[in-house]
Chain A
Amino acid sequence: MAISARLAAELSILSQTLENPGNSIAQSMQRLSDEISDAVESYLGLTVTIAPGTTPITFTTLRDGAQPASVRTSARFTLTGAAQGAGGTGPVISLIVYAATPGAFVDLAADLAWITRANPAHITLDQDLTVVLEMPTTAPSAVAMINQAIGVLIGRGHSPEQAYQRLSRPSASGVVNRLDAAAGVLASLDPNLESEFPIQ
């Protein structure tokens, strides 16, 4: 499985927050990829999408040498029910797997639907044939940047809600771009950098 340097860095950041960082998220992703590869010969890779709020976070990894253009079939499993707590308020978590041979996931999808008693609507085939390798604005590093900026603003006397509103203000062009706003807040910490978005 090929994990890009960027993805490895993102997963490393996330793994640091776990109780047992030695059990890294990258290793878990590798094991899952290996298990699916054993079951489906033409397996190419997987994407995990987590939507804890309005900003989904996406991880994609492909097998060594696999090309996104080779994808001919996909299966999306929505794991929300299994992963969330008893309160039923967990994030929406989806696992998308890709393969080169049409129909390759029919049996696996049927078996997993049976094992999990999943609603058929929670397993969809061939709806995700385009692999998105990079989603810079929804990567953990981008979300981290926004949260760090909220922390800076809290330190300056804003409540968390005010800080979020501050980052959500439209720019002069009328566009809301929290990532750029957060970059501006963080750049203001470094006197050597001139911020695009000076703190008001």
Chain B
Amino acid sequence: MTDFGDTARATPVVLTLEQASADAADLQAGLSQLAALVAGTLGLDELLLRVATAAARAIPGADGAGVTLLRIDGEGNRVEALAASQPFVRDIDEIQYVTLNEGPCITAALERRTVRSGSLGGERMWPRFGPRVGRMGVHSALSLPLLLPGQVIGAINVYARGKDVFSDHAAELGELFAAPAAVAVHNAQILTQALALTVQLQTALSSRPVIDQAIGLLRGRSGSSAEEAFERLRALSQKDHTKLANVAQHIVEDAVRRARARHTDI
């Protein structure tokens, strides 16, 4: 495994002009995709999938890539969202997060540094993950932490079937890609959370008026408190396996019908 946090250990890379030019074009295409994906409002899952696809294109040698949002706390690693550009990436990440809780992404996120391996089958860092993934015919991995100031929000995992596929140059390109990707992903998280909150509030506030009117009706009939009337509504909802708002709507509509009939009779 190579630690890219220590630049003194990085191996000098000599590229042909054509290779450098092609790599630059791929990175530019990947970054363009990254910019384009925020041009329309996307769900977080779709945005992550597009980031994964763009990463696989931007990083030389990649056969597939995945993006994982990871919350690391004292109780372990919690995967909050996951996207993969290819099915085999999803299979590998399932082994990493669910089966073994061990692998390059977890190391990259925990230690906040880029990690890579060119021979997963014999990788000592992940003695259970490496051989298992090697047997799947995937031998190279590059994991790039998604870093914000003071924290890591996840990682991009890039895989290749060949051995020693990811050079220092590939890792450097990957880090160039990961920096704006982290910001895009985090802003999408903020937007997702803001929308989730507003939808919750909208849902609650749209059904709350009729619930309160039903509470008022029940209070007027029985003299009970608001809390007692609400509990009665909730009991009716549970008994009939009907939404609370629907029970309230039925009570109010029934009372309004009777009120209007009374006026008609008069």
Contact = CB atoms under 8 A, between A and B. Distances in A.
A132 interface: no
Interface stretch (A65-73, A108-116, A119-127, A168-176): A108-116
B190 A32 contact: yes
Nearest to A151: B216
A52 interface: yes
B39 interface: yes
Contacts of A88: none
Contacts, number: 176
A71 B262 CA distance: 56
B49 to A, nearest CB: 16
Contacts of A144: 208, 212, 215
Instruction: Specify the main secondary structure of chain A where it touches its partner.
Output: helix
B214 interface: yes
A38 B147 CA distance: 11
Interface in B24-77: 38-42
Contacts of A13: 208
B215 A79 contact: no
- For chain A, the bracket of interface size reads 35 or more
Interface stretch (B14-22, B154-162, B170-178, B194-202): B194-202
Given A117-B41, A157-B262, A25 B187 contact: no
Contact of A31 (B193, B221, B243): B193
Contacts of B202: 50, 83-84, 90-91, 93
A133 interface: no
Contacts of B191: 112, 115-116
Interface in B179-225: 183-184, 186-191, 193-221, 223
Nearest to A190: B223
Interface stretch (B105-113, B123-131, B253-261): B253-261
B18 to A, nearest CB: 34
B235 to A, nearest CB: 13
A57 interface: yes
Contacts of A36: 190
30 contacts: A13-B208, A14-B201, A16-B234, A17-B207, A23-B200, A29-B197, A31-B193, A32-B194, A35-B186, A39-B148, A39-B187, A50-B202, A79-B195, A79-B198, A82-B195, A82-B198, A117-B41, A147-B209, A147-B216, A148-B215, A148-B216, A148-B219, A148-B226, A153-B216, A154-B256, A155-B220, A156-B220, A160-B256, A189-B220, A190-B223
Interface of A: 13-19, 23, 25, 28-29, 31-32, 35-36, 38-39, 41, 48, 50, 52, 57, 59, 77, 79, 82-84, 90-91, 93, 95, 108, 111-112, 114-117, 140, 143-145, 147-160, 186, 189-190
Question: Which 8 pairs across A and B sit closest by C-beta, in order of nearness?
Answer: A151-B216, A147-B212, A148-B216, A151-B213, A155-B220, A14-B204, A152-B220, A151-B217
Given A16-B230, A50-B201, 5 more contacts: A28-B197, A93-B202, A115-B42, A147-B208, A151-B215
